[in-house]
Structure formats: structure tokens, C-alpha cells
Amino acid sequence: MKSITFTLNGRERSFDIEPDERFLDLLRRSGLTGTKCGCDNGMCGSCTVIVDGRAVNSCILFAFQVAGRIVETIEGIGDFDRPHPLQTAMADAGAVQCGYCTPGMVMAAKALLDQKPDAGEEDFRRHLDGNLCRCTGYVKIRDALLSCSAGARAES
Amino acid sequence: MNYTDFKTPTRLDEARALLKELGDAAVPVAGSTLHVFLRDETPRIAVDITRLGLDGIRREEGNFEIGATTRVAELLEFRDDGWVLDRVADAFVSQTVRNAATVGGSIVRTFPWSDFPVALLVLNASMIITGDSDRVVDADTYFASQPFHHFQPGDLLTAIRVPPLVAGEGFGYHKERRTGSDFSRLTLAARLDVREGRVGGLRIAAGSGVPLPTRLTAVEKALVGARPGPKKFAEAAEAGLEEVRWRGSAGLSDDYIRHLASVRIVDVLTQAYEEAKGERS
Ligand SMILES: Cc1cc2nc3c(=O)[nH]c(=O)nc-3n(C[C@H](O)[C@H](O)[C@H](O)COP(=O)(O)OP(=O)(O)OC[C@H]3O[C@@H](n4cnc5c(N)ncnc54)[C@H](O)[C@@H]3O)c2cc1C
Ligand code: FES
Ligand code: FES
């Protein structure tokens, strides 16, 4: 075991980790189970978290790689009582069925909107091209996420 | 990966000294995405090389100099005259992997389906390896075998030098895949320039349908000095088909990939030619 420190959802935290521990496993054993494991191979996006402003797959990231970095997980952006606008939009649009892909979708969309608040459909398509959903068919997810873009709000 | 320890150096000389001292017991780690494909259970110490300041893209003596730990997503976002690697980065898996994988990591240990080797071959890039002395290795030499053979313990790829496209030159890129984030079944890239209505220079390369990324020199020979056009491109593509042994994958037969190559060679030549004429859409 070796200790690492990083900023997790706005607070500096230290964790003892195994050198070959994946970041997803560290999060989940620490009680942050909102981040899901779908494929464990970087191919589905259900484990998406934001590291230094960029959406990455936590299943293929080693925990030591986040030492000193700024990390956001789904738990950090909103909860049942105070949901993030992206979470509200997903629920309102009926874009959640089993919900397994939802935290990853929301985090990938948040990283995009943080970088480009007026992101358009092309941006969402490109930035969420690694986030798979096996239930919804994507249309409602697209509608929900796009409704949170400043571009879409300006048009309506 | 069976990492028994990890180090997070913040200076290049520190990282190199560690890697040299630890020899085969250590391994440089950039995005760390390779472990998805390479299940190596040998115990090793991971040396994180993403904090050494080896990232970013800048113009240096006319060329683009890309730091080895620049994330692929940054290649997609970067814009400048003569920059074409955004088109290659766009075809690279998914945004979440583009955000993690580095351009250096993707060309030190390559796969048949790797995107950047094919593009860097036609762009005539050079790889800068920092060891006890710096070495500049041209793309033909670098990609002639598995590139990790160029590295001794303590050596790091520190930058990639890419000449920009200039007026009269065009670039074409095609990755044959079944879904957006699928692995390539055939990759082709071409860089072509037109002088006084004729092909002045051409580099064209293939990946994925072949064991290692490779230049299609027969296509190049057939076209340099010729008047470009669909008929001439198709003739040149035929010449290219004989030059390499095309290989199918994922249920696609060798013959199918060979046929696909005849079509896609013409496509990348056409893309490059249209851009060279200033007609890229
Ligand atoms: C799901 C998935 C799909 C993918 N699909 C594609 C695809 O379609 N096309 C494609 O091109 N790539 C694809 N990749 C990425 C590719 O296969 C590699 O995993 C990736 O490019 C490696 O980059 P990295 O920064 O993660 O390198 P790492 O995994 O950190 O390192 C790769 C190797 O290079 C060495 N290394 C890294 N940087 C240096 C350096 N600067 N100097 C010396 N040695 C170094 C490491 O020791 C290691 O041996 C995919 C990856 C995933 C996870
Ligand atoms: S669980 Fe990480 S990408 Fe699927
Ligand atoms: S809602 Fe079930 S996978 Fe997306």
C-alpha cells in the first residue's frame, strides 16, 4: 500500500492504494458507487469520471495516475435533493431506463459543457462517442443533454 | 499489468535516471491504455511520465513539434495552417480514450490497427528519442519494425516533428471500421503535391490490412510525374495491390480487404488531390 493525495469532488483527500489498483476500484471500494463498471476495458463509458477537466474511463486508469490531480465523479456534481441540471434534464426527458450508462453520460456531457458551454449536436456526438447505452436508443439522451447547452437555451 | 510500485517524477532527467537505474524492472507509463491489449503479468515498477512537461504542440523552425505525452484529444482540438492530424485523431476510438491516450504511447508499441503510424509515415515525421544523447529517427526507419526496439532503458520518446502541409499539397486519410469506435480493418493515408498539373511528390501508406504500417511505393512510382485523375489513380492502385499481402480480420477475407484497398487507395488519393487543388470540402 502507498498513499496518494488528490482533489476529489472539491476536497483534498488521501487514499492508500495498491500500485496496480484501477481508479474505478478505488472509487467503488471507497463508497463512491455511482461510477459504474460495464466492460472494464475502455469500451463502454459507464465508468466515466472527469480528471483535470477531461472525461476519462476510470476502469483503465490506474489509481496512482490521479495523484495530485483534480477529480470529479457523479457524486460531486449533484444528488437526489439538489440534482445537477444535466441530471434533471435526463430524468425529465425520460432518457434513463436501467440507468447504468447514465452517470457516465452525465459526466462526459459535463466535461464538454465545462469546456464549451454552447456545445452543439456535433460536439455531443463526438464527445460522447465512447458512451454506450443499451436501452434508450440515444435520442432522448441527445435531447436531454442538448437542452442543457447555452446554444440550445438561446434558441428556445 | 502487475505494477509493484509507482513513481511520479516531475523532471525528464529524474524520470530517465529512474528508468535507467531500474532497467527491465521498470516501465514508462503515459496514458496507460495499452494494458487493455497487452496482459503482461511480469512485476514492474510504473514510472509515470505525464508530469515531465513533455506535452503540447508548438511551431518550431517551420515544423510542428508535438510533445510525446500530448493527449490525442489535443491533436483533435489543435488548429493551424498545414495541420492535418486532427483528422487522424478524430478517427481514434472515442473521446474518453482520446483524453487519456498520448500520441507518444500510441507509436512506441504499435498494433496493425494503430492510426498514427500510417499518417506519420506519409507526413514524413521524425521521432525524437532522448537517451544519453538525442536521436532523431525518420518515420521510415522508426516504423520499419516494432518501434520499441529503438529504445534502451532510460530512453524516452520526447517529441514528434511533423512538417506542415503547404500550398499545393493535400492529405487523405481513411479508416475502414464498422462502428465509430471499432478497430480499423484497413487504414490508408496519402500526402500528395501537384506541380504544373502533375504529381510532384507522393507518399502513401497502408495499415491494418497489412502486418506493419507500410509505404505503398509502387503506387508512388506509378503516379509521380503523371497527370492526376481518376483513371490514373485506379491504375496506380492496381500496382499497389501487388506490392503487399493484404490481410483480412474479424471475418473479412484477405480477398475482400484486397478489393477494399483498390477502392480506398483511389479515395485517399482523390481526397489528397482535391485538397492540393484547394478544393477540400
Ligand atoms: C478501447 C481502446 C481502443 C483503442 N483503439 C485504438 C484505435 O483504433 N487506434 C489507435 O491508434 N489506438 C487505439 N487505442 C489506443 C492504443 O492502442 C494504445 O492503447 C494507446 O495509444 C497507448 O497510449 P498511452 O498513452 O495510453 O500509452 P501507454 O499505455 O502508457 O504506453 C504504451 C507503451 O509505450 C511506452 N511508452 C509510452 N510513452 C512513451 C514514451 N514517451 N517514451 C518511451 N516509451 C513510452 C510504454 O512503456 C508502453 O510500453 C485504443 C485504446 C483503447 C483502450
Ligand atoms: S467500464 Fe470503463 S469503459 Fe466500460
Ligand atoms: S439506460 Fe440502460 S444502458 Fe443506458
| Structure confidence at residue B210 (pLDDT) | 86
Within 10 Å of residue A116's Cβ, how many Cβ atoms?
Answer: 15
User: What's the CA gap between B46 and B4, in Å, rounded?
Assistant: 8
- CA B270, B272, B274, B277: dihedral to nearest 10 degrees? -140
- CA B34, B86, A110, A122: dihedral to nearest 10 degrees? -130
| Structure confidence at residue A155 (pLDDT) | 64
Q: Say whether B202 sits in a helix, a strand or coil.
A: strand
Which of A2, A39, A9 is closest to A24 using CA atoms?
Answer: A39
Q: Say whether B175 sits in a helix, a strand or coil.
A: strand
| Structure confidence at residue B59 (pLDDT) | 96
User: What's the CA gap between A57 and A67, in Å, rounded?
Assistant: 16
ipTM of the assembly? 0.96
pLDDT tens digits, B14-72 = 999 999 999 999 999 999 999 888 888 899 999 999 999 999 999 999 999 999 999 99
B95/A68 touch (CB, cutoff 8 Å), yes or no: no
Residue B6 pLDDT > 90, yes or no?
yes
Q: Say whether B21 sits in a helix, a strand or coil.
A: helix
The alpha carbon of A74 and the centre of ligand 1 are apart by a number of angstroms equal to 27
User: What's the CA gap between B213 and B196, in Å, rounded?
Assistant: 31
Which of residues B183 and A120 earns the better pLDDT score?
Answer: A120
Atom of ligand 3 nearest to the CA of A97: 1
Q: Say whether A113 sits in a helix, a strand or coil.
A: helix
Tell me which residue range forms the domain holding A80: 2-155
pLDDT in tens, chain A (156 residues): 899 999 999 999 999 999 999 999 999 999 999 999 999 999 999 999 999 999 999 999 999 999 999 999 999 999 999 999 999 999 999 999 999 999 999 999 999 999 999 999 999 999 999 999 999 999 999 999 999 998 776 666
Within 10 Å of residue B33's Cβ, how many Cβ atoms?
Answer: 21
| Structure confidence at residue B209 (pLDDT) | 79
Give how far Cα B247 sits from Cα of B105, B172, B211, B241, Å: 25, 22, 8, 12
Q: Residue B208 region, left (φ>0) first, then alpha (ψ -120 to 50), else beta?
A: left
A130: nearest CA partner in chain B: B94
Angle, alpha carbons B83-A56-B121 (nearest 5°)? 30
Instruction: Tell me whether strands B126-130 and B156-162 are parallel, antiparallel or unpaired.
Output: antiparallel
B224 Cβ under 8 Å from any chain A Cβ: no
Q: Say if CB B155 and CB B236 are below 8 A apart.
A: no
The alpha carbon of B197 and the centre of ligand 3 are apart by a number of angstroms equal to 55
B10 Cβ under 8 Å from any chain A Cβ: no
| Structure confidence at residue B56 (pLDDT) | 98
Give how far Cα A121 sits from Cα of A111, A118, A129, B260, Å: 15, 10, 12, 32
Atom of ligand 3 nearest to the CA of A98: 2
Domain count, chain A: 1
Question: Which residues of chain A are within 8 Å of residue B73 when distances are taken between CB atoms?
Answer: 54
End-to-end CA distance of chain B: 44
Q: Say if CB A45 and CB A57 are below 8 A apart.
A: yes
pLDDT tens digits, B223-239 = 999 999 999 999 999 99
Instruction: Tell me whether strands B43-48 and B26-29 are parallel, antiparallel or unpaired.
Output: parallel
Backbone angles phi, psi at B77, to 5 degrees: -80, -25
In angstroms, the separation between the Cα of residue A59 and the nearest Cα of chain B is 10
Give the domain CATH number at A138.
Answer: 3.10.20.30
User: What's the CA gap between B27 and B7, in Å, rounded?
Assistant: 10
Determine the residue type at A149. S
Q: Could you say which residues from 26 to 65 on chain B have a Cβ atom under 8 Å away from some Cβ of chain A?
A: 29, 32-33, 35-36, 45-46, 48, 50-51
Confidence tier at B280 by pLDDT (50, 70, 90): low
The model's pTM: 0.96
Q: Which residues contact A61 (CB under 8 A, 6 or more apart)?
A: A22, A23, A24, A51, B32, B100
pLDDT tens digits, B134-178 = 999 999 999 999 999 999 999 999 999 999 999 999 999 999 988
DSSP assignment letter at B199? E
| Structure confidence at residue B180 (pLDDT) | 77
Residue B279 pLDDT > 80, yes or no?
no
Determine the residue type at A40. D
